[in-house]
A and B are shown apart, each in its own frame.
Chain A
Amino acid sequence: MKERSQRWARFRRLGLALLMVALPAAAFSLPGLAAPRTVTMLGTWGGQELEAFLKVLEPFEKETGIKVEFTGTRDLPAVLTTRVAAGNPPDLAALPNPGQMRELAAEGHLVDLSKVLDMNTLKNQYAPVWIDLGSYQGKLHAIFISADLKSLVWYNPKAFAARGYTVPKTWDELMSLTERIAAGGVTPWAIGLESGAASGWPGTDWIEDIMLRTAGPEVYDQWVAHQIPWTDARVKRAWEIFGQIARNPRYVYGGTTGALSTNFGDAPNFLFTSPPRAYLHRQATFIQSFIRQNNPGLVAGQDYDFFALPPIDARWGTPALGAADMVGMLRDTPEARKVMQYLASPAAQERWVAALGKLSANRAVRMEVYPDPLTRKAAQILVSAEVFRFDGSDLMPAAVGSGAFWEGILRYVGGESLDDTLRAIESAAKDAYR
């Protein structure tokens, strides 16, 4: 009798244990009981950018109950490549550039967004250039949620006033100001080309800006598409103009070694030391967040300001170079569609640009949302620029745009002959553009 009850007890215990394992498993497999529906998203954002992005998502998550799980990595191309190859892509990806978008689209990994978004609204809100940049073979594959204006020179207005410098209107004025500062025993420019595994990119922006100003947008497009070689005289001239500043130790704080080893985010700090170590810094709008973070207490417009990089050849005026953050869709789920629709809306983008001081490519975003007059000024330049071109190195195949070009900048500034540098990039380009 006793033996039997013991056996029964053991049996009951076993049953209970099985139930405890089975119940949660069942709960997960029932859709109603599962965790709230999530959308996975991969991108490069971290720190301040990630915080801002989470703020953008807040009202959406509250309203729809859809959770967005964002994974940020600075190694996005590698992680994305691996996950796509493994058949485990995220639902959405914040893509670093149109080049990457095209590669993914060409391999058929991106969802055609005309099925997801209302194209009429989109065409009303975005200038054609942004729709084109997000399209591959006539199909929209990514949208731009924010943009950066690159052709800016940052300066310290108080230091300028103290030494009687004025904002240059032409390239010649810029160069004579440069020479005047150098003659006064100070270095005029702060340049930082170091950026970890991406070192060199700030120099590519210089070349692109100069190309637009010396050769014009058509030649720029040909250069980006590799219809003219890197050894072309017009390309060479742009490098030489960059080299006149970057390779001159009298013009750059710390000389070439300083330019090569200073992180791009730290470089503008030299404008705000006392006395200033440098007076001019060419960089995109996003540098403002670095300036603010590294030098708390500086007031936008009073302690730091920018002017547009002056024209070189009057014929080509003052074109605007820029870059932008794109979002593409890798998995077509109803929840992911909703997130895409939300991110494309002016409401979401207003929250995003307001938090970060970035610009919006969306015309429906109101000017009032920009957090300070400086950002508003940049937004106006971007919206009203007669000629706008996207960052060329981001459009080129990675082996050139983020390979040989970046490396070439470092080699050239490091003292290599220009012909050798351009020949090396040209041979990489011959191989990369098929």
Chain B
Amino acid sequence: MQRGRAWAWGFTGPALLLVGFYLAYPTLGTVYLSFFDRRSQHFVGFHNYVDLFTSSAMRTAFRNNLLWLLVFTAATVGLGLVLAVLADRVRYEAVAKSVIFLPMAISFVGAGVIWKFIYAYRPATSAQIGLANQLLMLFGREPVGWLIERPWINNLALIAVGVWIWTGFAMVVLSAAYKGIPRELLEAARVDGAGEWQVFWKVSLPLLQSTVAVVATTMVINVLKVFDIVYVMTNGNFDTEVMANRMYKEMFQFRHFGRASAIAVILFLAIVPVMLANIRRFRQQEAER
């Protein structure tokens, strides 16, 4: 018994050291720095936090993060689910899924650059170089400043880029779970006279529930950290600010270490409950097995 414990420490020790050094230490360091001024010299108490909660830039950022949270999560999970079920029924399923999954291979920055071109605005009297506005022109509409019209059009335009990237991931995971549902169950429901809607809502969805939850929480964690798309496409201008971008600005542009740390802490606190929920769910699943 004693020896077993020694072995366990031997194996987990290095990992714990690494986690401590690369995770726990910086986390505590960040919390510590968040109570100091811009150059981390003078203790200022909760001053940085007060600043953040009273600044209009951060209020916009909170609002937008919430918007991302709702729209992005709903869209990726919803679209992923629809695509997973639909793809199951087409002959060229593999091709269809690959195409939808493909944007996953592109970095956020790359996607931001690509979509910046798609959203590019030129006045109606010039030749359009952006796909989105060219399409509008084809239907006889005026071009739209996609990244400028605030506060809804530009935020939704940015969220659409995130959805474009992540829907493939949600679809693949949900599709695997969907294929794990015994076909007999679905057949039985159909034989009993259930329509396709009823089969989906009453049989498939309840069986997919835990997978949907896992995908949704993954997306929530993802979206709370959203940065690259916003930084590349608008840098938070025109009311598209998000918390992570604000943190970057405070840290690297304005060199206000205290405030940047405080934003990091707030983000961290926002993500922790989701992480805990995820871990608890994993534990339950393990226990059920």
Contact = CB atoms under 8 A, between A and B. Distances in A.
Interface of A: 75, 77-78, 81-82, 103, 107, 196-197, 199-200, 253-255, 257-258, 260-262, 270, 273, 277, 397-399, 402-403, 407, 410, 414, 424, 431-432
Contacts of A254: 121-123, 126
A205 B51 CA distance: 30
B125 A261 contact: no
Nearest to B236: A407
B148 interface: yes
Interface stretch (B83-91, B199-207, B250-258): B250-258
Contact of B148 (A197, A403, A414, A431): A414
Given A199-B237, A261-B148, A399 B125 contact: no
Contacts of A402: 253
Interface of B: 39, 51, 56, 120-123, 125-126, 145, 147-150, 231-232, 234-235, 237-238, 248-249, 251-256
Contacts of A253: 123
A251 to B, nearest CB: 13
B255 A103 contact: yes
B254 A277 contact: no
Contacts of A258: 121-123
Contacts of A82: 252
Contacts of A424: 56
Contacts of A414: 148, 150, 238
Contacts, number: 70
A40 to B, nearest CB: 20
Nearest to A424: B56
Contacts of B125: 277
B255 A261 contact: no
Contact of B238 (A107, A410, A431): A410
Given A196-B235, A410-B238, A261 B120 contact: yes
Secondary structure type dominating chain A contacts: helix
Of all A-B residue pairs in the complex, the 3 with the closest CB atoms, nearest first, are A254-B123, A78-B252, A399-B254
Contact of A403 (B122, B123, B145, B254): B254
Contacts of A432: 254
A200 B237 contact: yes
Given A197-B231, A410-B238, 4 more contacts: A78-B252, A199-B234, A258-B123, A432-B254
Contact of A398 (B56, B126, B145, B255): B255
Interface centre among A82, A273, A414, A424 (most CB of B within 10 A): A414
B253 A403 contact: yes
Contacts of B126: 254, 270, 273, 277
Nearest to B149: A257
Given A257-B121, A410-B237, A403 B249 contact: yes
24 contacts: A77-B253, A77-B255, A78-B252, A81-B251, A82-B252, A107-B39, A196-B232, A196-B235, A197-B231, A199-B234, A199-B237, A200-B237, A253-B123, A254-B122, A254-B123, A255-B123, A260-B148, A260-B238, A270-B126, A273-B126, A277-B125, A397-B254, A399-B256, A432-B254
